[in-house]
Amino acid sequence: MAVILDVLVQLGHSLLVLLLAPLLTGYLRKIKAHLLRRQGPDLIQPYRDLHKLLRKEVVLAHNASWVFRAAPYLIFATTWGAAALVPTFATGLAFSPAADLIAIVALLGSARFVLALSGLDVGTSFGGIGSSREMMIASLAEPALLMIAFTVSLLAGSTQLSSVAAFMQGPTVGLRVSLAMALVALVMVAVAENARIPVDNPATHLELTMVHEAMILEYSGRHLAVIEASASLKLLLYLSIIVCVFAPWGVAVAGQGLAAYAASLPLYVIKVAVAGFLLAVFESVIAKMRVFRVSEFLGAALMLALLAALLLFVSRGV
Amino acid sequence: MAVEVLLWCIAALLATVPAAVAGAHRTPTTILVYAIALVVSTIALGTVAWALVADAAPAQTLSLAIGLPWLGAHFRLDPLAAAFLAVVNLGGAAASLYGLGYGRHEPEPARVLPFFPAFLAGMNLVVLADDAFTFLVTWEFMSLTSWALVMAHHRQAGNARAGYIYLLMASLGTLALLLSFGLLAGASGGYAFDAIRHAQRPATVASAVLALTLLGAGSKAGLVPLHVWLPLAHPAAPSHVSALMSGVMTKVAVYGFIRIVFDLMGPPAWWSGGVVLLFGGASAVLGVLHALMEHDLKRLLAYHTVENIGIIFIGLGLGLAFAANDMRGPAALATTAALFHVFNHSVFKSLLFLGAGAVLTATGERDMERLGGLIHRMPYTALAFLIGSAAISALPPFNGFVSEWLTFQAILLSPQLPQWVLKFLVPAVGGLLALSAALAAACFVKAFGITFLGRARTGVAQDARETDAFSLTAMFVLVVLCLAAGLLPGYFIDALAPVVRDLVSAQMPRQAVIAWLTIVPIAESRSSYNGLLLFVLIAVAASLARYVIRRWASHSIRRSAPWDCGFPDATPVTQYTAGSFAQPIRRVFGTVVFRAREEIDMPRPGDARPAQLHVRLHDRLWDALYAPVAHLVDVTADRVNRVQFLTIRGYLTLVFGTLVALLVILAVWQ
């Protein structure tokens, strides 16, 4: 009985992130529009977009293979799976032993692998440019993310996000240089991985600056809808990781009952809203950088994360 | 009992050699040789798998009265040997099955058939050997048979040079191992492994042994900077032999390293772990960077072998460092990670080489820039290659990820190491490992995407045909293993437990008993991973999404020309190539590592000649280490060459001078 309840809570959590993700995208667009003194689209505009895309026909290139058609579902499933394993309002959910932070990073890597392949499938130069740049960005962002995972898990003595969150709530954390560096690096990686300004521009269709948009240029209809939903999920996932690791206050622990969940859920939404607001402000005040400056940006993130981990390796133990 | 079975298997393999020589040009011989190799490898695989799982039996030994008189040849099957024999015979069985189909396309069967079973027998013998003499003789036998296979197509450009460099490096490696065993045996000269194991030796001798073993086994395994022969020789052989060399022979080299350093040498010094880590980290990153710059499909795979050997040695180095500090649990974790990666790499690297061989048979091309769109013509090969690519890129839920994840878990335990050097070194190596994993994914997006996706770049790619059923069966057997080891890693870790227990006197906790088949290396609160659950989650989520869309969303599909922002390119030449795909990474990493320079030759307006882009890469290690030696040999040879053209008077003077010199030395001596 208890197992069934646990699994039900886990499923509810998975559904929640799925439903919440487009709202976050709409919210970010709204804030950015307001910062530019524009009205901006409705908060629920992303849902309408998805609905419209789902009803449209798919226009498929003549030589698209099964990889192109299966990729959206694989990307969506992998991203959703990863997002469902990051604690949001409660830690220690039923499936959380399946993957720790390292495995979640790797799951995102799987999604990216499939996405980059789908960019190459039709054999157009735009798809190629997108895939090639995406993998260049990932080749720096992923190690940075892993070094951040190292830093956090060395402190907490665990790579399991639930244990990390529990540790971060405890009294032994204190203010640490390593954590600050890891936070900065994580924000930089999150910006790059979600194709946000200054690394990429989610609103552009100007060829020379595209990365993510270039990869998915050939997608249309329901395929595009699924890919857009995965992109929103990924953004929510990154904000959830930041919130879970660096602001875990008030998170319920599995088994505390529905009342505790009801209390921690609004808190989680507020935390994500604050993080999203900060992201929108950051995006609005900064300029898009050239593609080959990205390596310096992410190289800095990697070095920060490495330094953070190194400091901990040196200061701990004995 | 098991040893006898294995030796009979080896004898059967060796017995096929004369038959293969006799009837090499007839098709039935090809089938016979590969069928025998397949059956024998499967029997051997079953025997060692049973020995490994049963676990109860102590090491079995056997001596044969062959080899040196009064000494004989000693063989021994312990868990370590059994684990590596499983890898050898699994790879052997897959390559033989593939050979049943692929062998029919072989233009010169007489140069392949006799050496193939001999090579398999050689690798089996090295792992079974229980004295230094047998080990060295069989090691050299393995080297020479593989060299013969590398030289099978010796008239093709570059293959002769590859064979020459391989022969030089193999001789160097065997020499180093010979000296290493000489030091191990000491003045008393006990060449049996048992005597070596129980001998006492000073620390300086042990460090010399470590250095020589790194040189000997490392050069065969492809550790940077001893890897130069590997990307030349492995691709030169026929593809199923490439699979054996990359997937299996490098593992035999790893076995040699483990046998000497973990088993024979006695307790390690703490710094030995650091040295091994350093070589491992350098191999991991340099291997994958070289692979990214490579457009030859088989050579790209060979460079990835260098990378994966690096990952294995990172695990082994950590194991040594922990064991030297008497941290038994972490040592067991790190060693298990290394051994599991040995198995995983042998599976997916064999798979990828077999896939590359299928492409080579279908198109006659290894150059990715002349392929493309093969997924339409070779759908099954493409699927198998895709799964192999995902596995080698360490993507969950496949097997490559599990062993890298275990290595990361071991790295995270290293702050407890007391030595400061290691405290600095281990996180840096962890960073290198993370970097190499990310770059490997980029490299395999390139390898699969350019070769199998997009539009065909040449006529041969356009007209490719799917490969035969035997080859496909061999590939899909390996695909199933990639999935099995990724989804149920607990069973594989448990099977490795007796090996690890022998090496570091500790083992990881039993995994198969944990609920839901999760693997928990240390403690549940610390870290856990469940590939099966992840796979089910992904499968359910994907099917659910597909079902929901099928049920409620639009079904219609319209085929049309690609959109491409309104500028569809008419010719396939305008697609992204392997070179252009790797260009951003070349700009980020290549300028430092390879001194990459791009020169653009842009004609003036009105000039009709095409613009050209030249990319120049330097292999800095070759320039720094190998080129000076080659130059020195050249110069010395030129000088000494003069002695060939003396007059008779000159030669007589030379003889007289030598005689006098020797007599003087003798006089002074006494």
Confidence of residue B56 (pLDDT cuts 50, 70, 90): low
**Alpha-carbon distance values, B565 to A37, A135, B58, B453, B655 (Å):** 30, 21, 68, 20, 82
What is the predicted pLDDT for the residue at A209? 65
Distance CA A160, CA A178 (A): 19
Q: What is the share, in percent, of chain B residues with pLDDT greater than 90?
A: 73
* Beta carbons of B572 and A123 less than 8 angstroms apart: yes
CA-based nearest residue in chain B for residue A139: B438
> Helix, strand, coil: what percent of chain B each, to 5?
75, 5, 20
What is the predicted pLDDT for the residue at A182? 94
Confidence of residue A2 (pLDDT cuts 50, 70, 90): confident
Say yes or no: A109 contacts chain B, CB-CB below 8 A. Answer: yes
Structure tokens at B403: 């062993």
Say yes or no: A54 contacts chain B, CB-CB below 8 A. Answer: yes
What is the predicted pLDDT for the residue at B55? 65
pLDDT digits (tens, 9 = 90+) for B433-473: 999 999 999 999 999 999 999 999 999 999 999 999 999 99
What is the pLDDT of chain B when averaged over all its residues?
92
CB contact under 8 A, A147 and B434: yes
CB contact under 8 A, A160 and B528: yes
Confidence of residue A317 (pLDDT cuts 50, 70, 90): very low
**Alpha-carbon distance values, B492 to B88, B127, B252, B343 (Å):** 16, 20, 19, 9
Please give the average per-residue pLDDT across A83-97, as a whole number. 89
Confidence of residue B570 (pLDDT cuts 50, 70, 90): confident
A175-181, Cβ contacts within 8 angstroms, sequence gap of 24 or more: A177/A308, A177/A311, A178/A151, A178/A308, A178/A309, A178/A311, A178/A312, A179/A151, A179/A152, A179/A155, A179/A246, A179/A308, A181/A151, A181/A304, A181/A305, A181/A307, A181/A308, A181/A311
CB contact under 8 A, B441 and A135: yes
Say yes or no: B564 contacts chain A, CB-CB below 8 A. Answer: yes
Please give the average per-residue pLDDT across B284-300, as a whole number. 95
Distance CA A117, CA A123 (A): 10
SS3 B650: helix
**Alpha-carbon distance values, B373 to A121, A132, B136, B558 (Å):** 8, 18, 47, 21
Distance CA B296, CA B369 (A): 8
In sequence order, the β-bridge partners of residue B129 are B75
For residue A58, pLDDT over 50 is answered with yes
Structure tokens at B571: 């010719």
**CA nearest B279: which of B307, B305, B259?**
B307
Say yes or no: B448 contacts chain A, CB-CB below 8 A. Answer: yes
Least confident of A112-121, B561-570, B653-662: B561-570
Confidence of residue A205 (pLDDT cuts 50, 70, 90): low
SS3 B62: strand
Beta strands B612-616 and B597-601: pairing type? antiparallel
Query: Amino acid identity of B554?
Result: S
What is the predicted pLDDT for the residue at A208? 63
What is the predicted pLDDT for the residue at A207? 62
SS3 B634: helix
What is the pLDDT of chain A when averaged over all its residues?
90
Contacts of B327 in chain A (CB under 8 A): none
Say yes or no: A310 contacts chain B, CB-CB below 8 A. Answer: yes
What is the predicted pLDDT for the residue at B79? 92
Please give the average per-residue pLDDT across B471-497, as a whole number. 95
pLDDT digits (tens, 9 = 90+) for B380-436: 999 999 999 999 999 999 999 999 999 999 999 988 888 888 988 998 999 999 999
Confidence of residue B106 (pLDDT cuts 50, 70, 90): confident
Taking the CA of residue A110 and the nearest CA in chain B, the distance in Å comes to: 5
For residue A206, pLDDT over 70 is answered with no
Name the A residues in 228-287 with CB < 8 Å from any B CB.
none
What is the predicted pLDDT for the residue at A201? 81
What is the predicted pLDDT for the residue at B52? 86
Contacts with A303 (C-beta within 8 Å, 6 or more apart), sequence order:
none
- Domain-by-domain residue ranges, chain A? 2-315
CB contact under 8 A, A217 and B453: no
Helix B469-487 × helix B379-392 angle, to 10°: 30
Say yes or no: B18 contacts chain A, CB-CB below 8 A. Answer: no
Say yes or no: B566 contacts chain A, CB-CB below 8 A. Answer: no
Least confident of A21-25, B367-371, B517-521: B517-521
* Beta carbons of B234 and B302 less than 8 angstroms apart: yes
Say yes or no: B483 contacts chain A, CB-CB below 8 A. Answer: no
Please give the average per-residue pLDDT across B124-147, as a whole number. 95
Say yes or no: A148 contacts chain B, CB-CB below 8 A. Answer: no
pLDDT digits (tens, 9 = 90+) for B349-384: 999 999 999 999 999 999 999 999 999 999 999 999
Please give the average per-residue pLDDT across B476-496, as a whole number. 95
Contacts with B54 (C-beta within 8 Å, 6 or more apart), sequence order:
none
Structure tokens at B638: 């030129």
Mark residue B128 as left, alpha or beta (left: phi above 0; alpha: psi -120 to 50; beta: remaining).
alpha
Contacts of A157 in chain B (CB under 8 A): 526
Contacts of B437 in chain A (CB under 8 A): 109, 142-143, 146
Please give the average per-residue pLDDT across B286-305, as a whole number. 95
Q: What are the helix (H) ranges across B55-131? A: 79-102, 115-128
